[in-house]
Amino acid sequence: MEKKIISERILLVDDSKTLSKLISLKVKSELNVEIDIAYSLAEAELFTKKYTYTLAILDLNLPDAPNGEVVDVILKKNIPSIVLTGSIDKEFRKVMLKKDIIDYVHKGGIDDIDYVIDIIKRLLKNRHHKVMVVDDSSVFRNQMKKMVENLFFQVFALAHGEEALLILEENPDIKIIITDYNMPVMDGLELTKAVRKKYTKSQLCVFVLSSTEDSDVSAKFLKQGANDFINKPFSKEEFSCRICNAIEALENIDMITNFSHRDFLTGLYNRRHFFTVMESYFHTAGAQDETFVTAMIAIDNFKSINATYDHDCADNAIIHVSEILRSEIQYHDIVARFDGEEFCIVLKDTGRENGMEVLEHLRQKVACTPLVSTQGEEIFVSISIGAIVEHEDSLTETIGEADAQLFQAKTAGGNKLCVV
């Protein structure tokens, strides 16, 4: 049996065996991570000597550490920590929140455990996102950097807006900018205006932090495109919730946008998005005299496959061919499913010789790679390809000429490449 690889490990420190077992089961089932349970501070220290942990979940009242001593011990080992405790002492809670913990959660019931699971899910996703902190105060900038890093984000910390724009140019995948208002060189408002010239609110989130009591300032920022405005001082919990809510909203928008651009069956670009992307590239390539190859591709005898086997097998044939097309071209090239068994490929910055070599390789790869049916039967399919190297005056005409070459390939018996 193949061994399951666990890439994440969590340390749970709690002297309640019943609660620990419940949390452990939920963590394993919902997060697919390994979890170790320590019932005392001494056991926790032994575990940390043996394993590296992604994070820890800590109770504050342990037999050998009744006053939250476990928090300092675990934080000194650079293990990000969530406090999950039955303590309702508000002053003690304030003391704990001043430490570099991720969150402080009161374990009043199953909902609180579910909340911790959701926090961990969010943290693991956050590691894939970049956040920029912009503030001229080095003390506050470093505090914010640490706070954001505690949420597992990749963080850039900068002193003013002009520097921030340079970093954004180099890292266009930054998802959140947290900026102060008053800064030298370029203040937060000018930075917000500059960012909004290139990015919409659904692409990049701008958070403004300011100690001003002037309500006109917050309104001004929001009108210029800021997603949120937070007055200083603010609580760590409020800030964490707002940032995590913002990144989750951006993820949801990305997911919806991606669904609208992708073919449901294959995951390739759909026809509509292909034309959206290609219209821009077509004109840019023409202006820069860049050569590219456009090819229309169809699965041969597709109706026969559908009739001989079944609808599921026909769908699997489409998926099979789409995966070969996607895996055998360069990352910057474009492949889309047009309709039914037809696909379109654009090989960017490619001349005739190299383009024909790639397309011929695709034809041969499909022909010699069997599709395995649900009954275990090997089914061989082939494709016909029509290509054009010298593009026409418009994208539509170019696609039309490639389609005409595809017709020639199919008429000649299929499993052929025709090019003009």
Strands 371-372 and 334-339: unpaired
Number of domains in the chain: 3
For position 5, what pLDDT does the model report?
A: 41
Average pLDDT, the chain: 92
Specify the pLDDT at position 109.
82
Tell whether 117 and 137 lie within a shared domain: no
pLDDT at 7: 67
Asked if 339 and 357 sit in the same domain, the reply is yes
Q: What is the pLDDT of residue 121?
A: 94
pLDDT confidence of residue 45: 97
Say if residue 119 is in the same domain as residue 158.
no
* Residue with more model confidence, 318 or 214: 318
* Domain identity same for 36 and 56: yes
200 and 248 both lie in a single domain: yes
Sheet with strand 383-388: strands edge to edge: 334-339, 342-347, 293-299, 383-388, 417-419
CB neighbourhood size of 253 (10 A):
14
Neighbours of 9 (CB within 10 A): 15
Among candidate residues 123, 158, 187, the one where a domain is terminated: 123
Q: Are 36 and 27 in contact (CB under 8 A)?
A: no
| 254 and 336 both lie in a single domain | no
- Sorting pLDDT into bands at 50, 70 and 90, what band is 307? confident
Confidence of residue 3 (pLDDT cuts 50, 70, 90): very low
Category of 301 on φ-ψ map: left (φ > 0), alpha (ψ -120 to 50) or beta: left
289 and 178 share a domain?
no
Q: Is 103 contained in some domain?
A: yes
Question: What are the tens digits of pLDDT across the range 160-198?
Answer: 999 999 999 999 999 999 999 989 889 999 999 999 999
Residue 4 lies in a domain: no
Question: Are the beta carbons of 179 and 140 closer than 8 angstroms?
Answer: no
Total count of residues recorded for the chain = 420
- Say if 1 falls within a structural domain: no
| Confidence at residue 65, expressed as pLDDT on a 0 to 100 scale | 95
Domain boundary among 123, 149, 179: 123
Q: Judge whether residue 2 has pLDDT over 60.
A: no
Output the CA angle 388-394-399, nearest 5 degrees: 40
Structural domain contains residue 349: yes
First to last CA, the chain: 52
135 with 95, same domain?
no
Long-range CB pairs of 223-228 (<8 Å, 24+ gap) are: 224/189, 224/192, 224/193, 224/196, 225/192, 225/193, 225/195, 225/196, 225/201, 226/192, 227/201
Are 325 and 399 in a shared domain?
Answer: yes
Q: What angle do CA 258, 386, 396 make, to 5 degrees?
A: 60
Q: Does residue 412 share a domain with residue 278?
A: yes
Give the separation between CA 1 and CA 3, rounded to whole angstroms.
6
DSSP label at residue 240: H
CATH number, domain at 179?
A: 3.40.50.2300
Measure the CA angle with vertex 14, ends 8 and 17; round to 5°. Answer: 100
Cβ-contact 295, 386 below 8 angstroms? yes
Which residue range forms the structural domain that includes residue 413?
Answer: 271-419
* Domain assignment present for 28: yes
Q: What is the pLDDT of residues 85-136, one digit of tens each?
A: 988 888 999 999 999 999 999 987 889 999 999 999 999 999 999 999 999 9
Q: Phi first, then psi: what are they for 103, rounded to 5°?
A: -160, 160
pLDDT in tens, 318-365: 999 999 999 999 989 999 999 899 999 999 999 999 999 999 999 999
For residues 29 and 109, state if they share a domain. yes
Residue where a domain terminates, one of 74, 94, 123: 123
Residues 278 and 399 in one domain: yes
Taking the C-alpha atoms of residue 273 and residue 253, their distance in angstroms, rounded to an integer, is 16
Give CA torsion, residues 99, 104, 107, 109, to 10 deg: -170
Strands across the sheet with 81-85, in order? 34-38, 9-13, 55-58, 81-85, 103-106
